[in-house]
Amino acid sequence: MFRRTRRLAVISALAVAAVVLSACAGASPDPVKTSDGKPDPDATLTVGLVLEPTNLDIRHTSGAALEQILVDNIYEGLVTRAQDNTIEPRLASDYEVSGDGLVYTFTIDEGVTFHNGTAMTSADVVASFEAVRTDASLQGNAEFANVASITAPDASTVVITLSEPNQNFLFALTGPAGLIFQAGDTTDLQTAENGTGPFTLQNWSKGSTITFDRYDEYWGEPAGIAEVVFEYIPDFTAGVNAALDGSLDVLTAVDPNLAPQLEDSGEFVMTKGRTTDKATLAFNNAKAPLNDARVREALRLGIDHEALIEAVGAGQPLYGPIPELDPGYEDLSDLVPYDPKKAKELLAEAGQEDLELTLTIPAFYGTTVPQVLISDFSKIGVTLEVDSVEFPTWLEDVYTNKDYELSFVLHVEPRDFGNFADPDYYFGYDNPEVQKLYADALAETDPDESAKILAKAARLVSEDHAADWLYTGETITALRPTVSGFPEDSINSRINLAGVTVAAD
């Protein structure tokens, strides 16, 4: 039996941007302490973000923009994830997983209340999870497909029984599927909220700002700031200008090419954070000439990944489908060293010396990556045409209809290796051995053994050259020196603000 426990004292101590379609390597660094000044509990923190939600209904609406600000701040689950994607208790003080991986038993913390003042009980948990299990319109419904039953033996205990083991199930509970809502609540979640987190919604000025207030009746350690204002600035240059003119305390998603302006000003501390953003050069494995593994390998060998990352300005090399923060990561750089000569030989062997290909890319990704690929491919005799399209067009043509040759997109979701075990996914990659290994990894109850199986499957995918992973994205954040405790890693998908403080002037 696997057991995790957290006592209330520990709770207090711990509390101190998708495809945009919307265990691990090393622990997250401690939150950056940038100020020795005394924290001001009445302070307001102003944070610049890029992507604004279309509504606030995280139950029915997907997307990183919602998870980024709502999870852990407004809404909570029984468990959550740390910056390095390891799983931590949240509303559950204890949880146990049976040895056969089928029964999950959670003990709920005492004193938890919703923002309307109502005490949370196991009945709310059961109602929340039953809704996800039975309502296909709710986020996470597919992840509850193997849930056989959800029961509450008493007011502080919840038991979830699966029909078969699923190594990813507990991780799924750290996302929207695992959030707890009040049973029978009629709050309009599109514009309002009734969560259990350390902040409440004060105001949403659409197209401009979302403001949170500290929830003073929070069951855990109170937030270190009284108010948070999220300012949505989709233009990267405008975001830098807003930071420099004093409008922002924090600017996230800083464009690497603009970062020197903030750094050189002397007014900001700059941090870099890890993500699970996989900058993926997709190959249509089901369409000639990309159905030839020699062609796919040649394209990968012809890309100077280090030079591409330098051109992008931030990122880490990635040569397989699993990033560093996900289980099963392995350094696969030995499979595709930069080798234009071998690339030409493979293309000649495949009868594709004068190959012409089209790269379909959402327009908002800009021109840096396409320009590097055009240059690199020209050196191996491949002419690359770039088709820059609006995102809805990309979704229709590439993702849905699979009408493409090459494509580029950031796959931001953690633990999404299953895409390569799905022959119907837009990659068109169909390898029964990989599919079996992925199923075995999910069924394996030992997380370490499961990760080993995933690593084996990932190596196969990379050996098949099912895609090219150009790099893993890094987030650059600029903070004023008065701000401490702001997260570094994975903040494009989640920003837990409970431990952030702002020093008094």
State the residue for tokens 């995102």. Answer: 391
Among 24-28, 70-74, 223-227, 273-277, which is the least confidently predicted range?
Answer: 24-28
Which two three-digit tokens encode residue 403? 């009408």
Q: Which of 214, 203, 12, 83 is closest to 494 using CA atoms?
A: 83
The answer to whether residues 183 and 124 touch, using CB atoms and an 8 Å cutoff, is: yes
Distance CA 4, CA 87 (A): 10
State phi, psi for 33 to the nearest 5 degrees: -100, 105
Taken in order 172, 232, 29, 92, is the CA torsion positive or negative?
negative
pLDDT at 396: 95
Distance CA 73, CA 212 (A): 9
CB atoms within 10 A of CB 441: 25
User: What are 107-149's pLDDT values in tens digits?
Assistant: 999 999 999 999 999 999 999 999 999 999 999 999 999 999 9
Coil/strand/helix, residue 142? helix
- Amino acid present at 383: T
Distance CA 187, CA 259 (A): 41
State the residue for tokens 């849905």. Answer: 400
Distance CA 104, CA 460 (A): 32
The answer to whether residues 112 and 196 touch, using CB atoms and an 8 Å cutoff, is: yes
Res. 5: pLDDT tops 50 = no
Pairing verdict, β 199-205 and 209-214:
antiparallel
State phi, psi for 4 to the nearest 5 degrees: -125, 135
User: What are 440-473's pLDDT values in tens digits?
Assistant: 999 999 999 999 999 999 999 999 999 999 999 9
Q: Which of 427, 26, 65, 33 is closest to 253 using CA atoms?
A: 65
Does 28 or 412 have the greater pLDDT score? 412
pLDDT at 36: 63
Q: Is the peptide bond before 432 cis (omega within 30 degrees of 0)?
A: no
State phi, psi for 276 to the nearest 5 degrees: -105, 25
pLDDT at 77: 98
Q: Round the CA-based radius of gyration of the chain to a whole number and report it.
A: 23
pLDDT at 19: 46
Distance CA 468, CA 494 (A): 26
CB atoms within 10 A of CB 156: 17
- Amino acid present at 97: V
Res. 20: pLDDT tops 70 = no
Burial class (CB in 10 A: 0-12, 13-18, 19+), 207: exposed
Distance CA 53, CA 64 (A): 9
pLDDT at 35: 55
For the residues 288-298, what does the mean pLDDT come to?
A: 98
pLDDT at 51: 87
pLDDT at 34: 54
Res. 29: pLDDT tops 90 = no
Those residues whose C-beta lies under 8 Å from the C-beta of residue 398, and which sit 6 or more positions away, are 282, 360, 404, 407, 426
Mean pLDDT value across the chain: 92
pLDDT at 8: 29
User: What are 477-486's pLDDT values in tens digits?
Assistant: 999 999 999 9
Distance CA 422, CA 399 (A): 13
Q: Which of 339, 333, 345, 331 is closest to 301 using CA atoms?
A: 339
Banded pLDDT at 504 (limits 50, 70, 90):
confident
pLDDT at 64: 86
DSSP class per residue in 32-44: P----SPB-TT-E
Res. 28: pLDDT tops 70 = no
pLDDT at 118: 97
For the residues 337-341, what does the mean pLDDT come to?
A: 97
Query: pTM, whole model, 2 decimals?
Result: 0.85
User: What are 369-414's pLDDT values in tens digits?
Assistant: 999 999 999 999 999 999 999 989 999 999 999 999 999 999 988 9
Res. 360: pLDDT tops 60 = yes
Distance CA 419, CA 433 (A): 14
Which helix (H) or strand (E) covers residue 484, if one does?
strand 483-484
Banded pLDDT at 492 (limits 50, 70, 90):
confident
pLDDT at 280: 98
- Please, which residues bridge with residue 81 across strands? 87
User: What are 209-222's pLDDT values in tens digits?
Assistant: 999 999 999 999 99
Coil/strand/helix, residue 312? helix
